[in-house]
Structure 1
């Protein structure tokens, strides 16, 4: 029964709306226009008034959230800066002489003065940064913890000793650690500490500085993010445990809110993000971020109502103003419609008097719209058909011309092609054909009108300029735009013209084109003048030859014209390749020195331009550089596929035209990515290089090897090799080589009957120099060392 009543009500509503529309359709122009003015003036105002609240709330809410996010980023950045300063502070104090092994060694309980100064230094260190709650020194050999607050505490438990033993074995000197239990009287409020290993001159750790982070300092930094306590602000570790909840005395609902949001963040894998969260019928805007250095996760939840409350009153006032404006618009639209109808009414009266009954019947719907439509309809249709015909004819001509000049109509015979040319409005019977190819380059030059990505726009502008030049010259020609910074000018010249006359005409036109393009576009312009051909089917061959000729252009010239008839290969001129600049560039890349590598790339390109001025030779040089870099990185064990995957670097480089574009491509695609990768893996790669040098020393010690020869062998500068060799082995290169040779010499002295000269040659020394080096290292001459060993051996044999 309810279905029937509902259907009846819907039918009545539909009939009522249709009746209203029928009445509106029968109104005359005056009332129609008045209703239209009402709709135009009032409806938009009503829509704006209705939407200003909803859209305004969402937009302002988004802006407030953005402002809140900026404040959050600022506070998190401040905390990051404090952590960075804390790490720098710990790093500086790790080199303080008060923490040297000879100062803190021995029994500190018996060294009163040293212990007092140590406590004073720890107190100064603790007060140097607000994040530090407690500064503790760990001494490895005695398993002691020293702190100004706790004094000297001994670690007796084996499991706790093993924790600090693992701490001493780590490779990095600076790390963040979490201590769940420590033998300290006053426990750390967070259990999180920044640990700086103390190393001796041999780089062996003998202790550590542990700076424990205080909860109160972190809470002070989090307070501006949740000043009224209506939300939540806390910091978590990577394992999900809380570092601090941001509250000294939380209200009743704070702990459940923190726990609920913490569980949601863990469920989302603790990824930095912004999301909405509903808790106890309250919507919260939750922001999750990460502190990069300690690896902490900070979480801030703010009630959305607290963000949008300041703007609600303003939006309501705006809504009221819109409603008032709507009423005013209704009154003004009524007055405006009366004024607008007066000239329309006079025009309608004139039409009605002249047309009689026909006009009277049309009055029921519109007084003059149909008359105006009938008067203009045929004229409009005629204009549109004419424009479509001209447009389609032009497109057909352009398509045929593009196919012809590019050789896509090679299957046609000469007669068929000439006939097709005549159908498109060109005279090919009494003409010969010539082509001029224009190539634009260097869109990155200063002062140019176009930039990167404007290739099609630049080609279009060049085609228009060339078309205007051809039109002004009066030469029958057509322009073909390839939309790749190149255009072709196809000329129809009389067949009776001599070749010299045709070439003169082509060169005059080429000079005007290159002058106009260079002046208006501000780009480098190269024009290739092709060979004239008598047959239409051969024009695409002339174009292809001219396109290949363009590759022999001089890359440093602003304007140049190349003639196919005068293009001769240059012979007898030596071609130089900057091998030294290439070697230095590869060295900078392998060392991860990005700025130096970019500067060296510029010097390499400048040197290559001087020796290889033609575009073809310059591109070959850049391809050689790409191959050398990839080969050097392959020898170093770097997989370029991890950066580029299936990208063909050679194909990308071959597709580039300008020298500056090639240089920028090398910088963006090759130099910077590879130096970044090498910088990230620098320590591992340097260690591998040192291992390789050590292997060379043990294998080639009898030969006259040196630091420079080893550096050249592994592809690194000798100065850098000396530093990294000392860092990883603890000895400089000469001392290490000398120790290996002396050890081999001692083996030969006690295990063979070789003479001193033979032993010296076998370990890579001259005999006289060998004696001095051996005596300096062992305190005795080689002969004395052998006799002492034999005497001791005989004595031991006699005692048995």
Structure 2
């Protein structure tokens, strides 16, 4: 199956067809829009011309009426009360009125005098009340404008003499569509009670002739200021009602005097252009069919389709032959893959590229597996070789031979051993069970950071990561500087990747590879100095040798520190105890003290602390959980690990137990003192005597009593004696002096002052008050009986 060729062919077709269709569609839309824009512009120009012709006609008639109204004849006649006897004046006025016909197709002309109550209609003079459409004229008079046009259709009177009628001005009313010009006299704006007016009615056909009716430019009509089609038939008004409503809404929302909108009427799409006149607020509207407008663009669309089809055919031919040529190498690779695979039935159903991809992946996977197996075996062999090297199980000749076989450095001036150990895990996210895994991770970090041509394979040996570094050329100082740089880099990466602090021991540089066993021991010896130098250190074995001459014993000043630590622990003062522990460890783990004696001194301190537990009768197993605790203690390396172990495993638990026992002793001692005071209040009492009796120090006993009772010893004795004095005054007839003497007061005045200080009255006053109260109570009980 040639699935890839089909995809390639489809892609080529799409690559050529999509731009062609896009360009054709864009050209057609652009051309059609240009046609629409030109038709709209033409409609707007026709509306502008129509507006100019109509307004010119209206201006001409207004000018004629204004000249007529301002003639001396009209002004003079307007202030007279005309009757049938003034036929000469009436004839002159009618002649002037007839002259107005030359400016427009005038149907009727009226001169109306409201105050004199007469009216002239062409050649006839009649009383105002006899006008059949007087209400209409009065409505005109109530308008605020002095000069205005009325576009509403009115019934027009036609003169007709009926038999037996004396009035030749009676008229038969027939409907006639006109527009009226109203000119108030005098011409004052804002008045609703003029003296009179001139009304000229013009036939609507005069304006309708100016409007256009064509398929290309559409139908034109006019809306008056109120939005009514005053020149159109009833059917047209119904047809364009929705359009007119949309025009009025758009005019209200927009401040523009012209515009265009698309709408529908009777299922037909229409384009509406409009202009608002600044002269009388009439709206000139042109409605054209979108189908008629776009008819011209159909030919453009047909031409565009023909061109696009031609281009698509050309694209199809190029795509077919081009894809065949591009598919040729794919077909060749697919054939080779099928021939190489025996499962031909399943291969026929797969896509070409999928088949090739699977074949390549199979080859790559096979190669990767073989390479991985080989590398895994070689790595184990390399590590085994290095471990035998550090344990002294290989001769020098064998070492040189294997080194060349496994791709280790062949030539060197100096060699050097790194030993990496993990510091305290107490304040990290790891537990002790994670040490092996962390060492494995450190081994990988070292392997990645150190270049293969400068090292042998890093290995894990006895809980330590060991690396043999080779320096091809240079002095001992150069390899030591290189080792220091690499050690700092390893420490930084261990902190970055594992958030782990490590220490590194560095051996002396050496040349003979057989001396790697000695160098391995030197690097471990350097690491043992961490407990005095601190964690996160890089220690060279030469630094230990330089300090060896200055080592001194520390027993002389350790004994006082040990005694102070034990004393503060007996008092359950944990803060002071930890302070003494810091001083003790600083002395023991000082860089000048003996490294081999440190463990003995620390074990001695641990046994002294455990002895305190035994003295208090506390089972030792509550503190030390068998031999595992001792084994863990002996494995401690850094100053931080040792201090953390003493604080968390020994001092804090012991201090808590001792404090609990002391608190119990506090309560018992305070209770005994209170009992003695209650029994011997009438005897001589001192804190020193009671402390001797209870086998406590007076100061210590005073603090305990104050802590548990809330009062000092003397205050509590005085308070209790006053309570007993109060009781004696209430229940006995003893004299006040006798009571004071019984309570161990040296004179009566001191007793009275103490009693008044506590109860606010003297003993005598208190006894009298109690006696009076008792007598009143007894009297009330007798009266009640």
TM-score relative to the length of structure 1: 0.36
Larger radius of gyration: 2
